[in-house]
Amino acid sequence: MRKSSIIFFVAILSLLSVAGLAKSKLIFAVHWSDYQVEGVKDENGNVKVKGLRQYVEEYQKLNPDIEIEIQSVPFDEYLKRILISHTSGVIADIYVLYSLWGVQLVDSGILDQVPKDIIEKIKSDFVRAAIDGATIDKAVWGVPVEVDNYALVYNKKLLQEAGFNQPPKTWEELVQMAPKLTKRNPDGTIAQYGFAFLSGWDSAVVHPYLALLYSNGGRFFTDDFTECLLTSKEAVEALEAQLKLFKNGATDPAASVWNFPAGKIAMMIMAPWYETSLKLGLKDQYEQTVGVAPIPYLKKPATTGYTWFIAVDSASKNKKAAWDFIRWMTLQNAGGFTRMGELMAKNIGAIPPNKMDIGFFKTELDDLYTSVFVKELDNTYQEPNVAQGQEIKTILMREIIEAWNGRKTAEKALSDAKTKIDKILAEFYK
């Protein structure tokens, strides 16, 4: 054999070897906080509770031809980043998505169709509320990874100090109790809130309001989404019920639910995923401090629910690899549970939507915090998947805050919200 032929042969083998070692890279975008990605660590930096990174590392060891890069995106920038990325051509392959964004992302052609075998598993293995959250126009667009709702979270110590042995069951009881749990500084500002909302976050504003709306027998939209129903008697009464807490001095627009671990909040409405933050903030005082109960009702028990689902970008160059990872993470039996279910139940504190996980993680889901949220799934009204849902939610948030600040009456704020929202609905529904 000629020397040149040998050199050529060796070169070809080298190229094939390099090609064999080449990895498919997946970009996995999430909105989760540091401990949810990196894991909960002890004082020595050792991982006590696994985060997303530990699962990704496990998958990469099992699949050395796959590299997964986790990109953490702040929640308030997440949707915008997805939409802009398609203009720039720099996309993520996998997203964990808020269900309210689904209609817009599907209409924009951003989401890849879910493989049939995955859809079949979702329909057979997941709770109905989560399936509904991932369904747009009767089609499932991703694998549900968490289902959330809301409950009343209260400081047991502060309630006991004020002479209350139990949390309020009705909204009127809450309105009467909250001022007695409020303390003020010498300058008149509130040092301890009887009840806290959170003005700067749309979900913390809109979801508790919707819970009261549903509790009062009201609705957000007509069934065909052609009209917003926020000027109904039930809708106005629900916002007026919230305003009672501002008028009696139990709260103000400066309140923040994030101050609960500091002992400055007696009661608030919060979601199940806040559990780990409370444990980290309160440490050995957690069990003595935290109490959870259903949201105090107006006419009937009700709470608001929403879903997050994992999906693949339609422009991904590695769709098969992306869906294979999703199957492994969210559907594969890892010993009576799924890995995503373990992440949700043990770290993030959300309710896993897979029935197998709900059955397996009974210890985590039946604790003093999450057990109430699981029970309240029966009273949960899913946030509707509507076109331009995020924009609509932002409009409602701003008008509710106007009422909180006393710049508008409940009736005026909701009327203004309806006018703006109906204009949006008219563009998408006939």
pLDDT at residue number 217: 98
* pLDDT given for residue 118 in this prediction: 98
pLDDT tens digits for range 79-112:
999 999 888 878 999 999 999 999 999 999 999 9
Tally of domains in the chain: 2
Q: Are 105 and 246 members of one domain?
A: no
Per-residue pLDDT reduced to its tens digit, 389-425: 999 999 999 999 999 999 999 999 999 999 999 999 9
Identify whether residues 378 and 390 lie together within a single domain. no
Mean pLDDT value across residues 172-200: 95
Residue 117 has pLDDT above 70, yes or no: yes
Nearest to 328 by CA among 315, 341, 309: 341
Q: Evaluate if residue 137 carries a pLDDT over 50.
A: yes
Is residue 112 located within the same domain as residue 245? no
Same domain, 29 and 124: yes
132 and 167 in a common domain: no
Residues 266, 406 within the same domain? yes
Query: Do both 110 and 167 map to the same domain?
Result: no
Tell me the pLDDT of the chain averaged across its residues.
92
Instruction: For the beta carbon of residue 265, count every other beta carbon within 10 angstroms.
Output: 25
Question: Domain containing 224 — which CATH number?
Answer: 3.40.190.10
Quote the domain boundaries for residue 349: 24-147+306-382
Q: Counting runs of H as helices and runs of E as strands, what totals does the chain give?
A: 20, 15
> What is the number of other CB atoms lying within 10 angstroms of the CB of residue 273?
21
Q: Are residues 227 and 361 in the same domain?
A: no
pLDDT per residue as tens digits for the range 10-66: 444 444 444 445 789 999 999 999 999 999 888 888 999 999 999 999 999 999 999
Q: What is the pLDDT of residue 199?
A: 87
Q: Which of 6-10, 301-305, 397-401 has the lowest mean pLDDT?
A: 6-10
Backbone phi and psi for residue 131, each to the nearest 5 degrees, phi listed first: -60, -45
Cite the beta strand spans of 121-224 per DSSP E.
135-136, 139-140, 143-148, 151-155, 183-184, 190-192
Contact 26, 60 (CB under 8 A): no
Structure token digits, residue 153: 């979270």
Are 408 and 259 members of one domain? Answer: yes
Same domain membership, residue 137 and residue 46:
yes
